[in-house]
Amino acid sequence: QVQLVESGGGLVQAGGSLRLSCAASGGNFRSYDMAWFRQAPGKEREFVAAIRKYGGGTYYADSVKGRFTISRDNAKSTLSLQMNNLKPEDSAVYYCAAASSAITSTIRRSQSYANWGQGTQVTVSS
């Protein structure tokens, strides 16, 4: 089982940028499809972005497309999320997740992912 630890969250003004990182250990990072989800208070956890195990495909929620970029470094077992032009509605706890194999039709569903990090808080002030 892979263990995941997120970092890079914080407080930023609207229009600013943050870069989140997720360090993986205890498993073969290259063999996992990876994703970012987020959850705001009182709301359900929602899909943000995903990337295939060999970086062959990326997927984004419509709300972040064009502003966020997901990437991975298999050599360093690290997943990243570059977030630009942040908006107050992006405020949430961001979670890193891993799936041994996620089919395209369900890659945006949290149930597809068996391994989760503890989350990192992102707060965007207006």
Q: Which DSSP category does 90 fall into?
A: G
| pLDDT value, residue 54 | 78
Confidence of residue 104 (pLDDT cuts 50, 70, 90): confident
Spatial separation of the C-alpha atoms in residues 69 and 71, rounded to whole Å: 7
Does residue 55 surpass a pLDDT of 70? no
Q: What percent of the chain clears pLDDT 70, i.e. is strictly above it?
A: 99
Q: Looking at per-residue confidence, does 43 or 102 come out higher?
A: 43
Residues 6 or more apart whose Cβ sits within 8 Å of residue 62: none
**Segment holding 124, helix H or strand E:** strand 120-125
